[in-house]
């Protein structure tokens, strides 16, 4: 199941022609997954206080169509895989139902000493609501 978040494109996200800069889509992915994790009770600040850091280790972005200034976008994210020290989150950006960008990020789970650690059970359980139907743990 996808977590959905609406976002209206500000002028600052666009070029002079009013088209969203390609790199901003990765920022939209981040905004979407951050809000998804927050809704699961896992804001990054809390995770860091508990000694869990989840930096992005991979990012994939597939461009399908442009977004423009003042478009109302739907940013969508879901947990696609949790395996060992990695969490894969798939994301989409849509406008009026039309797919504009799709992709995924892989988050590595590390401790305060920046050593890889298995994804804590608390995170696995908390993400249950937004897991992909075929989630692999």
The terminus-to-terminus CA distance of the chain in angstroms comes to: 16
**In the numeric block, which tokens belong to residue 9?**
């494109």
For every one of its 137 residues, what pLDDT tens digit does the chain have, with 9 covering 90 and above?
999 999 999 999 999 999 998 889 999 999 999 999 999 999 989 999 999 999 999 999 999 999 999 999 999 999 999 999 999 999 999 999 999 999 999 999 999 999 999 999 999 999 999 998 765 55
The predicted model scores a pTM of: 0.89
Active site residues: 15
- Which structural domains are found in the chain, ordered by start? 3-136 (3.10.129.10)
- The whole-number pLDDT of residue 134 equals 64
Residues 6+ apart with CB under 8 A from 106: 56, 57, 58, 59, 86, 87, 88, 89
């Amino acid at each position: 199941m996808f977590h959905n978040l609406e976002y209206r494109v500000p002028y600052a996200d666009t070029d002079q022609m009013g088209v969203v800069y390609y790199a901003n889509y990765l920022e939209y992915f981040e905004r979407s997954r951050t809000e998804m994790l927050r809704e699961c009770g896992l804001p990054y600040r809390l995770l860091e206080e508990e000694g869990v850091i989840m930096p992005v280790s991979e990012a994939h972005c597939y461009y399908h169509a442009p977004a423009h200034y003042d478009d109302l976008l739907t940013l969508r994210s879901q947990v696609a895989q949790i395996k060992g020290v990695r969490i894969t989150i798939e994301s989409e950006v849509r406008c009026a139902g039309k797919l504009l960008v799709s992709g995924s990020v892989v988050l590595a789970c590390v401790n305060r000493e920046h050593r890889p650690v298995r994804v804590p059970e608390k995170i696995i359980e908390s993400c249950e609501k937004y897991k992909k139907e075929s989630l692999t743990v």
